[in-house]
């Protein structure tokens, strides 16, 4: 039974397409898998595995059904195209599953199992999507999204007996933003651009202290406010087919706590729409209330038809740590590289890469190594429509792939 529980915790994987920035107009059947394996230290498993299905013209021509499915978590939404006007859509959604709301404590490069715990939850949501420029090539969308989410927390096998868990209860989320352009949910899209700005408010019905001590040594705030923006560009040279991708993202917050802080680290490019990736580090190693991050990648074809490519990536971030989670220095940089295989039909892509984190704290020194595996399988023909706008570290899972 312990092994079964261990596996289920890992299979409560991230569903990065859980909140769309507009109703996706393209039929999709997409499988994505990603996994990071640190070579030093003990860490939570970092990874994702999910099936994403999007079906326009579902039952009626103006209905779109979206399903994101992981082994122990499901997220679905029914969208009504032009439901509130010629350029305004709305949608209703529901999500839920086991081990989706747990928390991993990582401090100074050390995974603190005795301060980590499981969480289960579910939610209902509604969204409004308005398109300002229907005649333009690059869309400008306004998003308003509201959700009511219930979380229940419990100890796992390693949580300290004297560690008080947070109170189970409701969290009401409000997110709004403007998004110009978009990036297709695939590994290394050939051509894409985005400029966006977002706000999210999180309001809890059962805030309070938890942790060690009579009154608990950490706190969940009644309300947290997050602000972030992104600029990104992906471009492929027409003759050589070399691909460049650059993303700049920055965020700030008011009254952030451990559950709402920005969490940076790892190399999982589809873990969220705005992945806060820094290669070579543990997934979500850093907790920040403010940050600025630059990601860049480069693909160099080395075989006909782009079947084999050299892949290089790098990232650097500066951050203001959440109080109580600080580490030495306020910056983190990492580099990585590997081999990407792309099937001639482009329905299948697989990457094996290596990452090195220059500033990672491991034992008495600095520097860490990791191996990364990414797989993408399109059951349908690949398309190019950008969508979705989630908080950049929003995640629904517990140690992603294989359990803690």
Q: Residue 350 CA to chain centroid, in angstroms?
A: 19
**Number of helices and strands in the chain (H, E):** 1, 20
pLDDT at residue 185 in the model:
74
pLDDT for 387: 34
pLDDT of the residue at 382: 54
CA angle, 12 then 3 then 50, to 5°: 20
Tell me how far CA of residue 256 lies from CA of 144, 201, 235, 311, 322, in angstroms.
Answer: 21, 10, 35, 36, 8
Q: Are residues 306 and 324 in contact, defined by beta-carbon separation less than 8 angstroms?
A: no
Tell me what pLDDT residue 214 has.
Answer: 87
Is the CB of residue 72 less than 8 Å from the CB of residue 96? Answer: no
The DSSP secondary-structure symbol of 134 reads T
**How many Å apart are CA 268 and CA 375, to the nearest integer?**
11
- Other Cβ atoms less than 10 A from the Cβ of 27: the count is 14
CA-wise closest residue to 171 among 399, 401, 394, 13: 394
All structural domains of the chain with their residue ranges? 2-378
Provide the whole-model pTM.
0.88
* DSSP designation for 395: -
User: What CATH topology corresponds to 2-378?
Assistant: Porin (2.40.160)
Contacts of 195 (CB under 8 A, 6+ apart): 179, 180, 181, 229, 230, 231
CB 194 within 8 A of CB 182: yes
Q: What tokens were used for 152?
A: 């229940």
- Give the pLDDT confidence score for residue 118 in this predicted structure: 92
Nearest alpha carbon to residue 315 among 285, 355, 351, 288: 355
Instruction: Spell out the residues 6+ positions from residue 161 whose beta carbon is closer than 8 angstroms to its own.
Output: none
Asked if 259 and 233 touch (Cβ cutoff 8 Å), the reply is: no
Closest CA to 261 of 388, 395, 166: 395
User: What per-residue confidence (pLDDT) applies to 351?
Assistant: 96
What are the 10-residue block averages of pLDDT along the chain, 404 residues in total?
46 42 80 92 86 92 91 91 94 91 92 94 96 92 96 94 95 96 84 95 96 92 97 92 95 97 93 90 95 97 90 97 87 97 89 96 88 92 45 41 34
Distance of CA 153 to the CA centre of its chain: 21
- Taking the C-alpha atoms of residue 357 and residue 334, their distance in angstroms, rounded to an integer, is 4
Burial of 258 (0-12, 13-18, 19+ CB in 10 A): buried
Q: What is the pLDDT of residue 28?
A: 85
């Amino acid at each position: 039974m312990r092994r079964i529980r261990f596996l289920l915790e890992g299979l409560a994987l991230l569903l990065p397409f859980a909140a769309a920035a507009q109703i996706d107009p393209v039929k999709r059947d997409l499988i994505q898998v990603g996994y990071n394996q640190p070579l030093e230290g003990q860490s939570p498993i970092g990874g994702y595995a999910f099936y994403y299905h999007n079906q326009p013209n579902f039952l009626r021509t103006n209905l779109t059904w979206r399903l994101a499915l992981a082994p122990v978590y499901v997220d679905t939404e029914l969208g009504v195209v032009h439901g509130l006007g010629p350029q305004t859509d709305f949608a209703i959604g529901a999500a839920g599953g086991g081990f989706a709301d747990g928390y991993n404590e990582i401090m100074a490069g050390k995974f603190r199992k005795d301060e980590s715990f499981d969480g289960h939850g579910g939610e209902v949501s509604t969204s409004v999507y308005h398109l300002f420029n229907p005649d333009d090539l690059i869309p400008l969308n306004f998003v308003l999204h509201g959700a009511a989410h219930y979380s229940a927390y419990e100890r796992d096998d390693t949580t300290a007996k004297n560690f008080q868990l947070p109170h189970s209860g409701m969290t009401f989320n409000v997110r709004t933003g403007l998004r110009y352009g978009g990036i297709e949910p695939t590994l290394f899209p050939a051509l894409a651009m985005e400029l966006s700005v977002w706000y999210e408010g999180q309001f809890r019905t059962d805030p309070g202290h938890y942790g060690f001590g009579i009154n608990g040594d950490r706190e969940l705030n009644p309300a947290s406010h997050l602000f972030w923006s992104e600029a990104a560009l992906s471009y492929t040279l027409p003759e050589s087919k070399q691909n460049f991708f650059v993303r700049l993202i920055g965020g700030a917050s008011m009254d952030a706590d451990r559950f709402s802080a920005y969490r940076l680290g790892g190399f999982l490019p589809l873990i969220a729409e705005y992945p806060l990736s820094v290669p070579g580090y543990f997934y979500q190693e850093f907790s920040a209330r403010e940050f600025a991050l630059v990601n860049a990648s480069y693909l160099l074809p080395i075989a006909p038809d782009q079947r084999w490519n050299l892949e290089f990536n790098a990232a650097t971030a500066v951050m203001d740590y959440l109080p109580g989670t600080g580490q030495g220095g306020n910056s983190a940089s990492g580099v990585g590289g590997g081999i990407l295989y792309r099937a001639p039909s482009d329905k299948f892509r697989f990457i094996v890469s290596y990452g090195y984190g220059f500033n990672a704290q491991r034992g008495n020194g600095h520097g860490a190594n990791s191996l990364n595996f990414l797989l993408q399988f399109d059951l349908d023909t690949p398309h190019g429509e950008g969508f979705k706008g989630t908080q950049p570290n929003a995640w629904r899972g517990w140690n992603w792939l294989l359990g803690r």
